[in-house]
Amino acid sequence: VRIEKAGHRHFMAKEIAEQPVVLADAISRYSTAEGALNLPEGLDFTGIDRVMLVACGTASYACHVAKYWFEQVAGLAAEIDIASEFRYRDPVLSERAMTIFVSQSGETADTLAALRYAKGKVAKVVSVVNVPTSSIARESDLSLPIHAGVEVGVASTKAFTCQLGVLALMALKAGADRGRLEAAALAAHLEDLRRLPGLLNVSLALSEPVTALADELARARDIIFLGRGAMYPLALEGALKLKEISYIHAEGYASGELKHGPIALIDDQVPVIVMAPRDALFEKTVSNMQEVMARSGKVLLLSDAQGIEEASPGVWQSLALPEVPPVWAPILYAVPAQLLAYHTAVAKGTDVDQPRNLAKSVTVE
Ligand code: G6P
Report the nearest-CA residue for atom 7 of ligand 1: 57
Which pLDDT value is given to residue 154? Answer: 87
Report the nearest-CA residue for atom 15 of ligand 1: 103
Reported as a single tens digit per residue, the pLDDT across 48-65 is 999 999 999 999 999 999
For the Cβ of 358 lying below 6 angstroms from any atom of ligand 1, the answer is: yes
pLDDT at 360 over 90: no
Here the ipTM equals 0.96
Which pLDDT value is given to residue 363? Answer: 86
Reported as a single tens digit per residue, the pLDDT across 106-122 is 999 999 999 999 999 99
Reported as a single tens digit per residue, the pLDDT across 240-264 is 999 999 999 999 999 999 999 888 8
Pocket test for ligand 1, best of 133, 144, 166, 362 (most atoms within 8 A of CB): 362
Q: Which of 5, 121, 243, 360 is catalytic?
A: 360
Reported as a single tens digit per residue, the pLDDT across 152-192 is 998 999 999 999 999 999 999 999 999 999 999 999 999 99
Structure confidence at residue 1 as a pLDDT band (50, 70, 90): low
Tell me if 274 sits within 8 A of 223, measured CB to CB: no
Cα of 191 vs centre of ligand 1, distance in Å, is 30
Per the document, the length of the chain is 365
- Rounded distance between C-alpha atoms, residue 276 and residue 286, angstroms: 8
Is the full-model pTM beyond 0.95?
Answer: yes
Residues 6 or more apart from 162 whose CB is under 8 A from it? Answer: 22, 23, 26, 130, 146, 147, 148
For the CA of 108, the nearest atom of ligand 1? 15
- Rounded distance between C-alpha atoms, residue 41 and residue 33, angstroms: 19
